[in-house]
Structure 1
Amino acid sequence: MLFEDVLEEYLYHCQAKGFTAKTMKNKRQEYKQLRLFLLEKRGINELENITAHDLKSYVRLKQKDGLQPQSIVSMFKMIKAFFNWCVKEGYLKENISKNVETPKVPKKILKGFTESEVQAMIDAFTYKNYFEARNKAIIAMLSDCGLRAMEIRGLETKNLKETTILVNGKGNKERYIFISPALKKILIRYERIKKEYFKDKHSYSKSYFLSYKGDQISHVGLDKVIKEAGIRVGIEDKRVSPHTFRHFFSVQCILNGIDIYTLSKLLGHSEISTTQRYLQSLEDFELIEKAMPSSPLMNIGRAKN
């Protein structure tokens, strides 16, 4: 069976499963590169003729091209998913990709924001105009809700209620996030200023955070807002990004007593292991502070007293 034909069927399968446009674009690009490699470098165009050795050669080629270990691992996850599907559909007897090793990814500890830095970034914006109010609300929501960049950009006004936000996450999976009184206060003022700013405009996007034209805020636009917050406060030794705010949210939740399973749901993670990676930058003193209340000896006899 032609490898190209099976790939096409699999991509329609993924589309039917509800994968995002970005994920589908990445899959198509990766599978196209793999197909060309197999055809041009290995002379293979039949699915049954592909071996683990061919896939190992493909990984080595990526390494020679200078692709970073994390990128290779992410790339090969897509390849594994395809071959796993082939086995389930009966096109192959075994998943040949399971015997292919990928490079080990060095563990990098993210240097997170402190509480004072986050508060300073929120305070760095005012309510003097729509953009200042919007930017303040964005930074506050990132800090207090731990949303992904795509989630905060795609947030629709109708999904914000009195005390909750309905978030449409990866793979179109929905989850609810609580709106704290501190965040609500900022959002109320933002909404009032937003309404005034757009009152004379005939139409604008249903998105909650808008550009000056009334369109959904772009990826570049969101990045500029976040970078501006870091510049105004003078943060130079840390990555100022949605991911770092998401990390801040995760660490604060754990330090405030939320268990990792609940946190995983709040973040929209499908696996606990993904959540655990967010917690690797807890400083030693924070771990000690967290561990003290749960000391077995300190808690012995408390129930009796």
Structure 2
Amino acid sequence: MLLEDVLEEYYYHCLASGFTDKTMINKNQEYKQLNKFIIEERQVTELESITHHDLKSYIRSKQMSGLQPSSIVSMSKQVRAFFSWCVKEEYIQINPMDKVTLPKVGTKMLTGYTTQEVTTMINCFNNKEYLEIRNKAIVSLMADCGLRSIEIRRFTHSSIHDNFILISGKGNKERIVNLSSIVKKTLIKYERVKKQYFKGKNVPYENYFLNYRGEEMSHVGIHNLVKEAGRRAKVKEARPHKFRHFFAVQSLLNGIDIYSLSKLLGHSEVNTTERYLTSLNVKDLLEDSVKTSPLTNMKK
């Protein structure tokens, strides 16, 4: 079977599986590069003829191009996923990636925001204009619920209930996140202003958060509003994903266990959640250990 034909079949398999647009773009780009390298550099066109030597050479080419180890590992996961699917479909018997050694990636400390930074970023938006109130609501949701940028963009009015939101995350996996009374109050105000802002206008989109034209917000739009919040609050490196780190750390310090936290964040593996907690400093851990001391709590 021609490699490019199987890659095309796998692409549509992934599309039908509900991967996000961003993920599909990354996958498509990676598989085009793989196909090109295998054909041009290794003179192999048939899927069954690909060996681990070919894939080792492909990884080596990525290293020689200056690609960072973390990026190589991320790219390799996509290649491994493709060949695993081929094994499952019985197109090949073994996954050639099983014998490919990947570069070691050092543990990078993920950092979130401080409580003061989050408070300042939320309060930097006024309570008068539609976009300002929308932005305040989005930043509040990110900080208090740990939602991903794409989850903020995609959820609808029907997803919101009195005290929780039903979120469809990666791979269309649904989860429930709690809505605090503080955030609920912010959302009620947003809904009221939104209704007035779009009164008499045709708004065909069901998305909860809309841009000024009444359309679904873009990834860049979310990134820019967080960047603007950072600029106003004088917070360096303000990015949407850092709110998930903030949510994770604060939730753990407030007593949640890591397995429950992992579910709230929509992680499929606990070790992904653990990376979010590397920013906990010694002072935080010492203060938290006092709250959870078994003997201290026995005296209460």
Give TM-score, length-normalised by structure 2.
Answer: 0.95
Post-superposition shift, 1:227?
A: 0.7
Tell me the SS of whatever aligns to 2:161: coil
Match of 1:291 in 2: 289
How many angstroms apart in 1 are the aligned matches of 2:175 and 2:276? 19
C-alpha contact (below 8 Å) 1:204/1:213 kept by paired residues: no
How many angstroms apart in 1 are the aligned matches of 2:209 and 2:166? 15
**Cα-to-partner distance string for 1:145-204 (whole Å, 9 max, x where unaligned):** 100010001121221122111111111111111110011111111111111111131224
Post-superposition shift, 1:93?
A: 2.2
**Cα-to-partner distance string for 1:57-91 (whole Å, 9 max, x where unaligned):** 11111112122222111111011111112222222
C-alpha contact (below 8 Å) 2:151/2:169 kept by paired residues: yes
Match of 2:250 in 1: 252
How many angstroms apart in 1 are the aligned matches of 2:250 and 2:140? 14
C-alpha contact (below 8 Å) 1:124/1:233 kept by paired residues: yes
C-alpha contact (below 8 Å) 1:226/1:241 kept by paired residues: yes
Match of 2:64 in 1: 64
C-alpha contact (below 8 Å) 2:148/2:241 kept by paired residues: yes
Match of 1:268 in 2: 266
Post-superposition shift, 1:298?
A: 4.8
Which deviates more from structure 2 when the two are superposed, residues 69-78 or residues 84-93? Answer: 84-93
Match of 2:120 in 1: 120
- Is there any run of 5+ residues in structure 1 with no aligned partner, and where? none
C-alpha contact (below 8 Å) 2:156/2:206 kept by paired residues: yes
Are positions 1:108 and 2:118 aligned together? Answer: no
Post-superposition shift, 1:24?
A: 2.4
Instruction: Label 1:225 to 1:103 Cα distance change in 2 as closer, same or farther (>3 A).
Output: same
Within 5 A, what are the aligned runs for 1:72-91? Answer: 72-91=72-91
How many angstroms apart in 1 are the aligned matches of 2:85 and 2:111? 38
Within 5 A, what are the aligned runs for 1:122-271? Answer: 122-236=122-236, 239-271=237-269
- Is there any run of 5+ residues in structure 2 with no aligned partner, and where? none
Tell me the SS of whatever aligns to 1:43: coil
Q: Which amino acid aligns with 1:187?
A: L
Q: Percent identity?
A: 56
Post-superposition shift, 1:278?
A: 0.5
Q: Which amino acid aligns with 2:163?
A: T
Give TM-score, length-normalised by structure 1.
Answer: 0.93
CA RMSD of aligned residues (A): 1.7
